[in-house]
Amino acid sequence: MTKFSPNALCFGEELPASGAPCFVQVEGHGLTITFERDGGEGAQEMVPFPAFSVSAGGLDHDHLVLKWGEAERARTLYLKNPHLIRAFRDAAPDHLSQPFEQAAERVRQVRHRHRVMWGTVGGAIAAVALALWFGADLLVEMAVSRIPVEWEQKLGEAAYRDFLSHQEVIKEGPAVKAVEEITQRLAEQVPNNPYKFQVTVVKSDVVNAFALPGGYVVVFTGLMKKAESGEEVAGVLGHELNHVLQRHGLERIVKNMGVMAVVAIIVGDQQGLIGLMRQVGVELLTLKFDRAQETEADLTGLQLVYRAKIDPAGMITFFQKLSEKDDGRLEWLSTHPMSSARAERLKVELAALPKRSPEPFTFEWTTVQSSLGVQPVAAP
Ligand SMILES: [Zn+2]
């Protein structure tokens, strides 16, 4: 059996989050796409030219992006190989040629810019590798900034669906309404937000919440039962949404992948990216953020809560509560080593902000809690 050597990457609903490596052949009437299976050839799909829409995309818009199919059968194919792109152009019918030529012109321009860059910035790789030793964080940020939000969302969404398919999801009722209102209040305060936050309430006694790249958030009912107000939940959500906004997940992944992967992303190398995408799918749900990222999410989370006119005292009391020893299962602690120092830091930060009067939520927290089965505390 000959070794399968993919020349393109395909995304779609029932394909892996990291994209399916595939081998594309241009035929007289369309494309034959062969998917990889166990290192050899797997399923084949024949797509006629009229089914495609064409654009430029990927890093630097130097990929040719072909889309076809609808709803859950929708597919997106990223082509970068110049021979393949040329063959597609030669074989594609006239109706594709106009958008195609525009896309191809963009690709040519980007290629030209790259050549110019390589000519003038000789030794860039060596510089990058050297700088990694001295300024790793900056380079990680650079690499992350080159990953399109669209790719990030695909990855996050796939991991999110995968996770939720094994969980008992609460679809409606006071708890869902409350979480939606809190998220809405916070999201409104994010200028030029590229993410559409989606929050799901999952029935579980685990005291936890987490956010995946792309804006997909899970809150467990255990955390909502533990919280004594909507403001306390808002504190946790403010923190989690900022992990998304600061792209902490991608930073961790890029960091874990090492020097060559970072270089590959910065120079737009497709093989490097395929490697990245493959690893991301696996790592998303087990990500641990570092201390600097946690502090950043705490502080930006507090500011977000404050701007949303939600009483920030809730965030601090909840963090304090989580730092106290408890016989319950406090999973937020396993990913968020909670120390009273953390709450203290937030207190100092809050004291520096001008006082403003908070606006209450429209829901009653007692209603939310009783919908989750929390017994009301009897009046003395
Ligand atoms: Zn965190």
pLDDT of residue 303: 95
Q: What angle do CA 305, 308, 309 make, to 5 degrees?
A: 90
| pLDDT for 225 beyond 70 | yes
Ligand 1 center to 47 CA (angstroms): 44
Q: What percent of the chain has pLDDT over 70?
A: 73
Going from the Cα of 280 to the center of ligand 1, the distance in angstroms, rounded, reads 18
% residues pLDDT > 90 (the chain) = 33
Q: Compute, in angstroms, the gap from residue 288 CA to the centroid of ligand 1.
A: 8
- How far apart are the CA of 247 and the centre of ligand 1, in A? 12
Token reading at 85: 């792109």
Output the CA 243–ligand 1 centroid distance in Å.
7
Answer whether residue 42 shows pLDDT above 90.
Answer: no
Distance CA 161, CA 232 (A): 27
368 CA → ligand 1 middle, Å: 24
Where exactly are the structural domains of the chain?
8-120, 149-371
- Residues around the ion ligand 1 (C-beta < 5 A): 294, 297
Q: How far is the CA of 250 from the centre of ligand 1 (A)?
A: 14
Distance 129 CA to ligand 1 centre (A): 30
* CATH class, 8-120 region: mainly beta
252 touches 143 (CB < 8 A):
no
Higher pLDDT, 217 or 110: 217
- Which is higher by pLDDT, 206 or 264? 206
User: How far is the centre of ligand 1, averaged over its atoms, from the C-alpha of 11 (Å)?
Assistant: 29
Kindly give the distance from the C-alpha atom of residue 114 to the centroid of ligand 1, in angstroms, as a whole number.
Answer: 38
